[in-house]
Amino acid sequence: MRLFCVFFISLLSLFTNAGTMDSWFRDFKRSATPTQLYAFLHAMPKGGDLHHHLTGSGYPQWWYALATDKDSNGGYEYYTRVSPSLCQGLSPDTFGPDNPFMLFRTVQASTWRRLPDCEKTHYRSLSALSDEQKAAFLNSVRLDKQHEGRNEFFETHWQRLNELTRNPYIVGQLLVKNMQAYQTENVRYLETQVNVHGMMDATGSPLSAETALSILLEALNSPTAKATGVTVKFQYALLRFLPNAEEQLATIYAFVDGHRKDYVGINMVGREDNDKGHPLRFLPALRMLRHKYPAIPLAFHAGEVDEPNHHVRDTLLLGADRIGHGLNTITDPETLLLMRHGPYLIEINLISNLLLEYVEDFQSHPFGEYLRLGIPVALSTDDRGMWGATLTDEFYVAVRAFNLSWTELRTLTENSIEYSFLAKPQKYALKSSLSASLDEFEDKAPQSNFISVSVPTDRFICRREPSLCSAPKE
Ligand SMILES: [Zn+2]
């Protein structure tokens, strides 16, 4: 009986706290300046970032610093195209994937040395760029202009980074930088998509996936990374529209099965407006692989398209437990009903969806509807390096555009651990520590003024949606 009373009282105090905090937060939202609201969300304990592409999460200045520092990048040197070349003359291939007019396509020195002499003259060592060229290089992998959108992102950013993404030392250091950045934002878990096949050494020879992974793990287990306190697990990503994607999926299954300590899931990525990668294409391959291997958690991109279709439903049929983006679930009522209070989570990437033109504005984003219908959702950052954003920015946009309550903020945060692919004991430990930190934050927040955190001034989202960064209407 006494135990029951203690339990009842603590449950009561939990409800009272949550209710008090909701009421305090409602008033705080009305009176806070944008800076105070941002600082509150920055300080708020956060769970995990569940939708994160590691090579898309390097800010351009990180890429540049790592690419030009042989001591931290494994001794590699890089060259980037600084003037358009027509060395081969005009041909039908001129506007193909290796478009010679694409500036800042970057290759490692071993590749540059093999280029024809005429081509070489159009490249310059990254370390020798003029200030103007360096600024242009940095901007070439940022989605910061009004006219830049989906095509710029899918068709030029990756092609420019090119061989930089095939250096496991750079990728490892990007991971450490992400962990450090997340520590400052009070994020405690990262489930990042990172591949290790196709890496090269500084001479241009292929590195085995095992070697590349060991280089990545060395960075992950370094004292600097450990000091952040951020737990990291990997997902392996399959580029879905490739002709041999089924073969690659089999290779990925075998690899992830052999490295379950570090790899906790598989993802399926790539432009969904390329129908060659449609979900049901992979049903036979996945059924065969499920026959062969113990279960591997799947988090697939789906519904990141403009038109209505049943791809989210089809992706659940593929066996996915989490859906990346899930934007067009809103147009599929049966699937929407299936997901209400269900076991499947939609990973929401608000800033990505706006900048890649999948929504006109946040008014037309279905996030609020999903959240308030009881569909499990969590906020994540996708390729934040290319839009200069942070997880705090996602929360900031969500609060401003959807008037989130404290209880909703807490649910989003807790979902990001609850629906992670962590093993049960680790998940339980993270959930408990997050819950304790959130309780403590609830106690302290009303006494804080939230102006001590410096807010980044160059936030692209403020330029795209200035109203979100101006003072709220009284
Ligand atoms: Zn994504």
Ligand 1 center from residue 96 Cα (angstroms): 25
Residue 33: the pLDDT is: 86
pTM comes to 0.92
Ligand 1 center from residue 51 Cα (angstroms): 6
Which contacts of 196-202 are long-range, i.e. CB under 8 A and separated by 24 or more positions? 196/168, 196/255, 197/251, 197/255, 198/166, 199/166, 199/167, 199/168, 200/108, 200/110, 200/163, 200/166, 200/167, 201/74, 202/74, 202/75, 202/76, 202/77, 202/108, 202/109, 202/110
Torsion angle, CA of 404/305/335/333, rounded to 10 degrees? 80
Residue 7: the pLDDT is: 39
Ligand 1 center from residue 86 Cα (angstroms): 35
Ligand 1 center from residue 121 Cα (angstroms): 36
Full strand arrangement of the beta sheet holding 123-125: 106-108, 78-81, 123-125
Ligand 1 center from residue 379 Cα (angstroms): 12
For residues 302 and 323, give the distance between their C-alpha atoms in angstroms, rounded to a whole number.
Answer: 6
Ligand 1 center from residue 345 Cα (angstroms): 14
Ligand 1 center from residue 122 Cα (angstroms): 33
Of the CA atoms within 13 Å of residue 144, those in its CB half-sphere come to 16
Cα torsion 438, 19, 396, 385: sign: positive
Structure tokens given for 387: 């839009």
Ligand 1 center from residue 118 Cα (angstroms): 38
Ligand 1 center from residue 269 Cα (angstroms): 7
Strand partners, 239: 269
Identify whether the C-beta of residue 257 lies closer than 8 Å to the C-beta of residue 293: yes
Nearest alpha-carbon partner for 316 in 293, 299, 333, 330: 299
Question: Could you tell me the residue ranges of all domains in the chain?
Answer: 41-58+167-442, 77-161
Residue 10: the pLDDT is: 42
Residue identified by tokens 């339980």 is 428
Ligand 1 center from residue 320 Cα (angstroms): 15
Residue 452: the pLDDT is: 60
Identify whether the C-beta of residue 109 lies closer than 8 Å to the C-beta of residue 76: yes
Ligand 1 center from residue 364 Cα (angstroms): 20
Helices and strands in the chain: count of H runs, count of E runs: 22, 11
Ligand 1 center from residue 302 Cα (angstroms): 10
Predicted confidence (pLDDT) per residue in 42-54, tens digit: 999 999 999 999 9
Ligand 1 center from residue 136 Cα (angstroms): 25
Residue identified by tokens 């038109």 is 307
Phi, psi of 435 (to 5 degrees): -60, -45
Q: Of all helices (H) and strands (E), which one includes residue 362?
A: none
For residues 413 and 187, give the distance between their C-alpha atoms in angstroms, rounded to a whole number.
Answer: 10
Ligand 1 center from residue 236 Cα (angstroms): 12
For residues 70 and 304, give the distance between their C-alpha atoms in angstroms, rounded to a whole number.
Answer: 38
Structure tokens given for 47: 């769970």
Q: Reduce the DSSP state of residue 193 to 3 states and report it.
A: strand
Structure tokens given for 148: 């830049």
Q: Which residues of the chain have pLDDT under 50?
A: 1-15, 473-474
CB atoms within 10 A of CB 149: 15
Ligand 1 center from residue 449 Cα (angstroms): 35
Ligand 1 center from residue 353 Cα (angstroms): 10
Ligand 1 center from residue 290 Cα (angstroms): 24
The alpha carbon of 237 is separated from its chain's Cα centroid by a whole number of angstroms, namely 12
Any residues with CB less than 8 A from the CB of 467 and at least 6 apart, and which? none
Any residues with CB less than 8 A from the CB of 46 and at least 6 apart, and which? 185, 186, 187, 188, 391, 395, 413, 416
For residues 460 and 146, give the distance between their C-alpha atoms in angstroms, rounded to a whole number.
Answer: 10
Ligand 1 center from residue 50 Cα (angstroms): 10
Ligand 1 center from residue 25 Cα (angstroms): 31
What is the CATH code of the structural domain delimited by 41-58+167-442?
Answer: 3.20.20.140
Ligand 1 center from residue 294 Cα (angstroms): 25
For residues 193 and 212, give the distance between their C-alpha atoms in angstroms, rounded to a whole number.
Answer: 15
